[in-house]
Structure 1
Amino acid sequence: MRVLAGDIGGTKTLLQIAECRAGRCRAVRTQRFDSGSHDSLSSIIREFLKGEKNKSLKAACFGIAGPIRETAKGQSVKVTNLPWEIHGRELKRRFKLSRLALINDFQAIGYGIEALGKRDLAVLHKGKAVKHGPRAVIGAGTGLGQGILVWNRDHYVPIATEGGHANFAPTNDMQIELMRYLLKTAGRTSWELVLSGHGLVRLYGFLKERGAAPESATVAQAMQTGDPAAAITRAALEQNDPLANQTLDLFVDIYGAQAGNLALTAGATGGVYIAGGIAPKIISRLSDGRFMQAFRNKGKMSPYVEAVPVQVVTRPEVGLVGAVMAATRFG
């Protein structure tokens, strides 16, 4: 069976045609698109399928960064960080697909996690996983995604959440100042406002305003001429820039704390997986102990989270792998 799968985010869209037999899938063709350069998912699919001679696509599944709505008119989603409205029935009709499903991008990552091997994961904390225990996945990138995986008979079923938009909770005096800064500059607090690419830039601005360290003219210029979050990360990891270093430390502190919160909320005795585009790029900072210190700082529940395994997903196309798997199940 041939399936069409997609991983649709605010920054990039990955599409793939895969050949699946007896529960195993092989990628036939994969292509990356800049999401912001297109006005709709339909236009990207049209471009991807242009010249595709084989009309035997049986099913499609798209993992999309946004909450999926289920109504009498079918599935639809407003992409959180793009001006796109996607309707399942419309895509199904336009591209003459017999079956099509829209799922949240972290549902897709949840499906993909089951297909990962040891080389696709970096262990932050070994812990002691409970067999078939609930799992949790969290990932900072363009936004902040979170999901829960629950065992059902012979596989994990991923459940999407919008926990990234829940209110941020400070853990020390400086983070209380940050909370006030968010209220002043953004009008509210949320985890995504600090744990994302734009969140990293916001933390930099907060520390700069606070006078934590002088701003480097070189870093300021790099932020203006390129991706500001990437410029901050490079300045911290490669140039040992004081302000960028403090920014990344604060980011890791908050990331670890919220990953630990999610472990408690989900009862994630089966493990916590750190996905998203940012984690693999800052793996040296995530693995130096700071992240896990914040993760474990849960008072009476510290022994509980101490037992939870924590791993970083280093395979960037995990969401696409999951969308392929979901297409075969829904198909």
Structure 2
Amino acid sequence: MEAENKFKLFLPALEAESNNNITLISADIRREYTQFALFVTKNRKIIPKIESTYSTTDFPSFSEMVKQFIEDNSLTNIAKLAIGVPGPVISGRSEPQRLPWKLDANEIRRETQIDKVYMINDLEATAYALENFDDNTVLTLHESDDFSPGNVAVLAPGAGLGEAGLFWDGICLRPFATEGGHCEFSPRTADEVEFYHFLQKIYGIVSWESVLSNEGLFNIYRFLRDVKHQRQPEWLTQEIEAGNFSKAIINGALEGKDRICTMVIDTFMIFLAREANSLVLKMKATGGLVITGDLPIMLQKFLNKEKFYKNFIISDKMEAVLKDIPIYLVKDTNTIIKGAAVFAAFSEE
């Protein structure tokens, strides 16, 4: 028996016969690499057929990378192209700070000769990926005792801090993008004020992305090392030099390898719970909190601990609301490319 999907999305062309048995390309663009996948639609689902990864900086434009993927796989009859972008998409255009070039859907359409090009924020794409997820992909971290359907919040720390939402219209959920990760970080305790001043000297404006991301994880670490004078072990020095910091610090905490590893992860989880709290309250997300991204997947053991939940429900007046919010972890690392494909495949005929 097929597992039940917890999320019913608004996809107006899901049933359209014109969207059945079509071939589309989906792309997840990142600073260092871009992932491509070829999908075929069948029975209101997207079926992956081919996957390839390219170095983003090896190409003078995104269109050239698309054409390379098509040539490498001898593809024909591509009906649609879906693009997950790490930044805001406005009127079919985007200028992501992490990418070496600007993106314009109309230019990409002309240069690739693909009639329908869909450009979507990467976290909005992640929200659309919930359409194809079930209990095999989504881990329930906290079940609500008094569930009330409503908006859903999506929080995804990784290379940056992605945030999105799904608006509950009374029948379905409608994904939308935000740039909430760039809102300013607010300290609560004396130590956090000290941490804020440490980051302010580096960034000027301190956003939540400077705290909840791979870079943020390292910021917490170097604050504890340089300001709080925690010892940096030799094995971790080697991992940092090799560019393996995030994985090494998380594994160090999981194994209880060194005090500073545990301190970094404990601090990160407190901040993650707090920003999750803020996002849920701002969206009145009674339908749930979805946590995903490379870091949370690696931090699953810590998310399962009661300490995360206790920090999540801390509030001046809203604890009664927060305690009934279901919390989910999406364990799939390919949400962007799948969600962009879902959006392109079924948002219109």
2:119 is matched with 102
Instruction: Single out whichever of 50-59 and 106-115 deviates more from structure 2.
Output: 50-59
Return the offset for 1:131.
5.2
How many residue pairs are counted as aligned between the two chains? 327
Distance 1:212 1:122, change over 3 A: farther
Q: Which TM-score applies when normalising by structure 1?
A: 0.93
Q: 1:208 to 1:265 in 2, by over 3 A?
A: same
| RMSD of Structure 2 on Structure 1 (CA) | 1.8
Are residue 49 (structure 1) and residue 66 (structure 2) matched?
no
**Bigger mean CA offset, 274-283 vs 224-233:** 224-233
User: Aligned-pair distance for 1:53?
Assistant: 3.6
Aligned to 1:310: 327
Amino acid paired to 2:56: S
Q: CA offsets per residue over residues 198-228 of structure 1, 9 Å max, x none?
A: 1101110111122252111221121012232
User: Aligned ranges for residues 57-206 of structure 1 at < 5 Å?
Assistant: 57-70=78-91, 75-128=92-145, 130=147, 132-152=149-169, 155-206=172-223
CA deviations over 1:1-25 (Å, ceiling 9, x no partner): 1111122233442211111134222
Deviation (angstroms), 1:235:
2.3
CA displacement at 1:152 relative to structure 2: 4.0
Aligned CA distance change for structure 1 residues 248 and 38 (closer, same or farther; 3 Å): farther
Moved more, 144-153 or 92-101: 144-153
Query: 2:291 and 2:117 mapped to 1: Cα distance?
Result: 28
List alignment gaps of at least 5 residues for structure 2: 1-21
**Pairwise CA distance, 1:59:** 1.2
Q: 1:221 aligns with which of 225, 234, 238?
A: 238
How far did 1:153 drift?
6.7
In 2: Cα distance, 1:212 partner to 1:303 partner: 39
1:299 aligns with 2:303: no
Question: Once the two structures are superposed, what CA deviation does each residue of 1:117-168 show, in whole Å capped at 9, x if it has no partner?
Answer: 1111122211257454100101000000000101347532111000000001
Higher strand share: 1
Question: Residue 240 of structure 1: CA displacement?
Answer: 2.3
Whole-angstrom distance in 2 between the partners of 1:35 and 1:81: 10
Distance across 2 between alignment mates of 1:235 and 1:316: 22
Does 2:287 match 1:270? Answer: yes
Is structure 2 residue 31 aligned with structure 1 residue 14? no
Q: Distance in 1 between matches of 2:56 and 2:300?
A: 26
| Corresponding residue for residue 250 of structure 2 | 233
Gaps of 5+ in 1: none
Cα deviation, residue 83, structure 1: 2.5
Whole-angstrom CA distance in 2 between matches of 1:61 and 1:151: 24
The whole-number CA distance in structure 2 between the counterparts of 1:15 and 1:99 is: 17
Between 120-129 and 144-153, report the one with greater CA deviation. Answer: 120-129
Distance 1:252 1:212, change over 3 A: farther
Which one-letter code corresponds to 2:80 in the other structure? Answer: A
Correspondent of 1:250 among 261, 267, 270:
267
TM-score, structure 2 normalization: 0.88
Separation in 1, partners of 2:28, 2:150? 27
- Cα shift readout 1:50-76 (whole Å, capped 9, x = no counterpart): 144442111111111100121xxxx11
Give the secondary structure class of the aligned counterpart of 1:118.
coil
Choose 279-288 or 148-157, whichever is displaced more.
Answer: 148-157
Paired AA for residue 326 in structure 2? P
